[in-house]
Amino acid sequence: MLLISSYAKAADILPNILDVLGDCELCSISTLLPAGEVHINTAFFAFDDRANLFFLSDPDSTHSNNIKNNPKVAVTVFNSHQKWTSSLKKGIQLFGNCKTSNDCVKYKKRFPEYEPSEDYQMYKIYTQRIKLLDEEAFGEESYKIWKS
Question: Can you say whether the dihedral through the CA atoms of 52, 47, 55, 108 is positive or negative?
Answer: positive
4-80+87-147 carries CATH number 3.40.50.720: no
Residue 102: count other Cβ atoms within 10 Å of its Cβ. 8
Ranges of each domain in the chain: 4-80+87-147
Q: Residue type for 7, please?
A: Y
Residue 2: is its pLDDT beyond 50?
Answer: no
Residue 130: is its pLDDT beyond 60?
Answer: yes
Which 3 state secondary structure label does DSSP give 23? Answer: helix
CA distance 69 to 52: 20
CA distance 128 to 36: 21
When pLDDT is cut at 50, 70 and 90, the band that residue 4 belongs to is low
If you average pLDDT over residues 87-114, what whole number do you get?
Answer: 92
> How far, CA to CA in Å, does 51 sit from each of 16, 59, 119?
11, 23, 26
When pLDDT is cut at 50, 70 and 90, the band that residue 138 belongs to is confident
